[in-house]
Structure 1
Amino acid sequence: MKKVTLEMLAEKAGVGIATVDRVLNERGGVKPETVRKVLIAARAAGLQRLLPEENSHPWQIEVFLSSLESFFFRQLAKEFALVANNLGYRKITLHRTLVPESEPDKLAKKIKQSSNIRDGIIVFGHNYPIIYEALTYCMEKGVPVITLATDLPNANRLCHVGINQYQAGRTAGLLMSKSRTTPGTIIMVSGRVDFHAHIQRVAGFRDMIEQRAPHLALHEVLAGQDEPDKIRSLLNTVLKRNDNIIGLYNTGTGNSDISKILRHYNLDKSCLYITHELSSVTRQLLESDQLDYTLDQNAHHHATSAIHIMLRHLEQGYKPDTYSDGNVDLRIVTSENMS
């Protein structure tokens, strides 16, 4: 009987030799329909060896997150690990990779490399052309990508999982406008002004204030860039010159420093203070009545939704809606409803 070779099976199945090798040796990273084709070809050719089961390998999924030492990303990394552990090692192998937000070239390169060995990719990335290019590369290779937390409009991806950042800004603006009924000035402190999430939050906040509270004056945005020294310098400069600050909205990090500065100018009780995420810092500020509201993105919901949508797509071919399937509900947290 003629020896059955990898080349013969690859030709019969209509795939590459490397794919046949991955299937027969259970290395993963191959779609179920492709696995099925290879095994059918192997059986038809009379390959004399124990063949793997069609769905025996765990799905190989890589999650790219920011290496920024913020509460949200630390929590996201933990939540993804918990979801994978609950599903079990036979179901999924989760690979977590942290990349600095300031290095889009590095992230794009890693995304492309990952598409050669993973079944699916979940990525937090910003609005850079090279990231869009990397996602298109994945699409052309047939590797599904889910974007996370920060939207990349019109990118080639399976869907987006996250809150509506513009709506989050409008929510902060609504809380501010309903709470501040007398004239005064509102300060906006932004994280990275070139990042889509912060741009959308500021735009939503501004639009709501202009729409609902014409009696409130919006100070020009303080571009804190998530840098403590810059946030302190900008805020000190404004507060020294203006004695009618009645509200502050912070889209990014630096809440501990902002709170200290407000206390220094005796504004910690009179200035309505709104920010994002329920971290250990914001929790303490809420408890001590130095912070009024924090808008939490719910890291757990991000992780569970992204993984479950990805698995449903890989196993059933499900095509999610770009936004509605992965929409995460924003949670408004006060000192009374922390959990």
Structure 2
Amino acid sequence: MAHRFLMKEIALQAGLGLATVDRVLNGREHVREHTRQRVQHAIKELEKQQFQLSTSGRKVVVDVVVEAPQRFSDEIREALESELPGLHPAVFRPRFLMQDTMTTAEVVDALSAIGRRGSHGVLLKARDVPEIVAAVSGLQQRGIPVVTIFTDIPQSSRIAYAGLDNHMAGATAAYLIGQWLGRREGDVLVTMSSERFRGEEERGASFRDELTRRNPKLRLVDASGGHGLDRETEKRVKRAVDADRKIVAVYSMGGGNVAILRALGALGQAPKCFIGHDLDKDNVDLLRDGKLSAVLHHDLRQDMRSACHSIMHFHKLLPASAVDLSSSVVVITPTNIPQTVEHRFASVRPAGVTQST
């Protein structure tokens, strides 16, 4: 396997022992395919980071552990990698573990493994459950700081949270739906990927309180638990929306919006207002097509910069005053999609062709 890095660098990046990396690089037998792929991936990540190594600064290895659909994981990775060149005086070297779904045991095992092999910090998006709270405490006891990203674990020993103000986001969604619907009666479909994700749970509670205050005649229909994955989300929507329901609006907190629209279409439902979260490719296409009324957006790059600055402050590389604030809610409609996002997700569809949902 061709490479230009020291074996100890590859081992550090992959989180493997030197002997294991040696077996992989020399093509020896009795190496699991998963291990071989980890080494290959580590080399690719080192190649991406190569240009940074010429700058002076402390090398900071940070582990990014994320449970989220791939479309959002890709956004997180791109946001972090875009920020790496500007994180002076440190040189960050991220190691990624990102999966659509992870059991509590898998997250705990991953955090325990990080604790054993060592790390300068962990950026964590996981569920707020006692076992993960305990695992975060275990890292803290080893001197490894944890920053929660996009969904918080507030009772843990994490050093900071970086992400959207979820209480504000839920209230904003309720305000927008109230403005769109006026005095119209009916049912509002709400979906979370999982109630164990504290950020979405906080959005949901704030949304319910504000919507009840503004329009008590609207009834909530909950189709949560699909983890933002299309197939499971579609099933849960079809299960929740019976023939007596009249869905006039949707607030999707956890993604899977193409699947939500497909399920509602199959049930003969056409909501007047649909509020989603995050400017991933699916949501940008749905905005362009008029299928989403608005997306509640936050600057992922700013959030990842804030998370890294918190790690740097922990290691006394930055003063507290230099740590960025997390991003605020920005309402995106079909008329104000940022040009940078339009460029990234430039549609290849012929003019006049509408994406099917």
TM-score above 0.5 = yes
Within the alignment, does 1:105 sit opposite 2:105 as a pair? yes
- Alignment correspondent of 1:278: 279
The residue that corresponds to 1:328 in the other structure is 327
Aligned to 1:15: none
Given the alignment of the two structures, is residue 295 of structure 1 paired with residue 296 of structure 2, yes or no? yes
Q: Report the residue type matching 1:245 in the other structure.
A: I
Secondary structure of the corresponding residue to residue 192 of structure 1: coil
**SS at 1:235 equivalent:** helix
Root-mean-square deviation (CA, aligned residues, Å) is: 3.0
SS in 1 for 2:155: coil
What's the offset of the Cα at 1:237? 4.9
2:60–2:90 CA contact under 8 A, matched in 1 = no
State the Cα distance separating 1:176 from its structure 2 match: 0.8
Q: Which residue of 2 aligns with 1:191?
A: 193
Structure 2 residues without counterparts, runs of 5 or longer: 1-10, 13-54, 339-357
Shift of 1:106: 2.9
Q: Distance in 2 between matches of 1:105 and 1:57?
A: 36
- Check 1:309–1:220 CA distance in 2 against 1; reply closer, same or farther (3 A cut): closer
The answer to whether residue 257 in structure 2 is matched with residue 255 in structure 1 is yes
The residue identity in structure 2 corresponding to 1:336 is T
Cα distance change on mapping 1:120 and 1:163 into 2, 3 Å: same
**Cα offset for 1:240?**
5.2
Q: Residues 165-180 of structure 1: matches in 2 within 5 Å? A: 165-180=166-181
Range moving further from structure 2, 110-119 or 201-210: 110-119
In the aligned structure 2, how far is the partner of 1:151 from the partner of 1:90?
Answer: 25
1:159 is matched with which residue? 160
Distance 1:225 1:99 in 2: 11
SS at match of 2:315: helix
Deviations 1:266-308 (A, max 9, x none): 654x521111111111111111111101112322122111112
CA–CA separation in structure 2 for the residues paired with 1:196 and 1:281 = 24
- For 2:96 and 2:102, the matched residues in 1 are separated by 18
Tell which deviates more after alignment, 93-102 or 289-298. 93-102
Tell me how far apart the structure 1 counterparts of residues 120 and 156 of structure 2 sit (CA, whole Å). Answer: 19
Rg (Cα) greater in structure: 1
How far residue 145 of structure 1 moved from its aligned partner, in angstroms, is 1.9
Q: Give the secondary structure class of the aligned counterpart of 1:200.
A: helix
Contact 1:306 1:326 in 2 (8 A): no
SS of the equivalent of 2:255 reads coil
Moved more, 113-122 or 82-91: 82-91
Spell out the pairing of 1:64-79 with structure 2 (5 A cutoff). 64-66=64-66, 68-79=68-79
For 1:48-87, what aligned pairs fall within 5 Å after superposition?
58-66=58-66, 68-87=68-87
Write the distance in 1 (CA, Å) between the matches of 2:293 and 2:111: 39
Q: 1:230 to 1:107 in 2, by over 3 A?
A: closer
Spell out, residue by residue over 1:63-103, the C-alpha distance to the aligned partner (whole angstroms, 9 max, x if none): 32325433221111122222224448973322223356423
2:326 is aligned with what amino acid?
N
Structure 1 residues 138-147 or 87-96, which shifts more? 87-96
Q: TM-score, normalised by structure 1?
A: 0.73
Tell me whether 1:207 sits opposite 2:227 in the alignment: no
Distance 1:212 1:120, change over 3 A: same
Question: Is the 8 Å Cα contact of residues 84 and 94 (structure 1) preserved in structure 2?
Answer: no
Equivalent residues, number: 284
Deviates more, 1:81-90 or 1:174-183: 81-90
8 A Cα contact 2:125 2:151, kept in partner: yes
Displacement of 1:264 after TM fit? 4.6
Query: Separation in 1 of the partners of 2:118 and 2:226?
Result: 39
Letter of the structure 1 residue corresponding to residue 304 of structure 2:
A
Mapped partners of 1:287, 1:59: distance in 2:
42
Q: Letter of the aligned partner of 1:60 in structure 2?
A: V
